[in-house]
Amino acid sequence: MGLGVGGSPLVITGTSAAAPFVAGAVALLLSEFPAATPAEVRSAVLRTGSGKRRTVVPPLLDAWAAYTILDRGANGSPPRGGRPLRVP
């Protein structure tokens, strides 16, 4: 959801709207965890939300949860500046 012409609400759905958000989140995760393999980042993104799944929708992409998963794998502790997230 965003702002349309004149400040009215604008809702865009579908893969064309989702792709830039998912690509951006994956790029940020790869830049934050340069030692992580693309497969590890993919796994972290798919393990967020309601558990392991094959796509990022539904539910919505949770980049913070993916970050938390990768951060715990990197150093075994909760992420910097945030609260721990429980992932099954």
Q: What is the pLDDT of residues 16-37, one digit of tens each?
A: 877 888 899 999 999 999 888 8
User: What is the residue-level pLDDT of the chain in tens, covering all 88 positions?
Assistant: 777 888 888 887 777 877 888 899 999 999 999 888 888 898 888 875 555 555 555 557 888 889 988 988 755 554 444 444 444 4
> Smallest Cα–Cα separation from 44: which of 33, 81, 8, 7?
33
**Distance from C-alpha of 81 to C-alpha of 88, rounded to nearest angstrom:** 22
Cβ-contact 87, 69 below 8 angstroms: yes
Could you state, in order of their start, the residue ranges of all structural domains in the chain? 25-77
Report which DSSP code applies to 78: P
* SS3 category, 6: helix
pLDDT given for residue 23 in this prediction: 92
pLDDT given for residue 85 in this prediction: 42
